[in-house]
Amino acid sequence: GWFPADSVRLRISQEVDEQDVRHQDKGSPRRITIMQRMSTMSGKQRLNPEWVRQKVIEEIINYEEGYVKNLKDVIEGPLKEARLRKDLFNDNQIERLFNNIEELFEFQVQFLESLKNRLKTIVHKSEIGDTFTEYQDKFVDIYSRYCNNHSSALAEYTILNQHMIYTIFFESCRLLKDMESIPLDGYLLKPVQRICQYQLQLKELLKYTTSTHPDHAKVKDAECIMSKVASTVNERKRRTENINKLAQWQSTIEDWRGEDILVKSSIMIHSGSLYKISAGNKQLRRFFLFDKQLVYCRKVLGSGKLQYKGRINLDQCQTVNLDDNSGILFFNPFFM
Task: Tell me the three-class secondary structure of the chain, residue by residue.
Answer: CCCCHHHCCCCCCCCCCHHHHHHCCCCCCCCCCHHHHHHCCCHHHHCCHHHHHHHHHHHHHHHHHHHHHHHHHHHHHHHHHHHHCCCCCCHHHHHHHHCCHHHHHHHHHHHHHHHHHCCCCCHHHCCCHHHHHHCHHHHHHHHHHHHHHHHHHHHHHHHHCCCHHHHHHHHHHHHHCCCCCCCHHHHHHHHHHHHHHHHHHHHHHHHCCCCCCCCHHHHHHHHHHHHHHHHHHHHHHHHHHHHHHHHHHHHCEECCCCCCHHHCCCCEEEEEEEEEEECCEEEEEEEEEECCEEEEEEECCCCCCEEEEEEEEHHHCCCEECCCCCCCCCCCCEEC
89-101 confidence digits (pLDDT tens): 999 999 999 999 9
pTM over 0.85: no
pLDDT at 331 over 60: no
Q: Average the pLDDT over 98-108 and give the result.
A: 96
Share of the chain above pLDDT 90, in %: 57
Q: Average the pLDDT over 167-193 and give the result.
A: 92
121-158 confidence digits (pLDDT tens): 999 999 999 999 999 999 999 999 999 889 889 889 99
pLDDT at 26 over 50: no
State the pLDDT confidence band at 1, using cuts at 50, 70 and 90: low
**Least confident interval from 13-22, 206-215, 300-309:** 13-22
48-94 confidence digits (pLDDT tens): 889 999 999 999 999 999 999 999 999 999 999 999 999 999 999 99
pLDDT, the chain, mean: 84
Q: Average the pLDDT over 320-325 and give the result.
A: 64
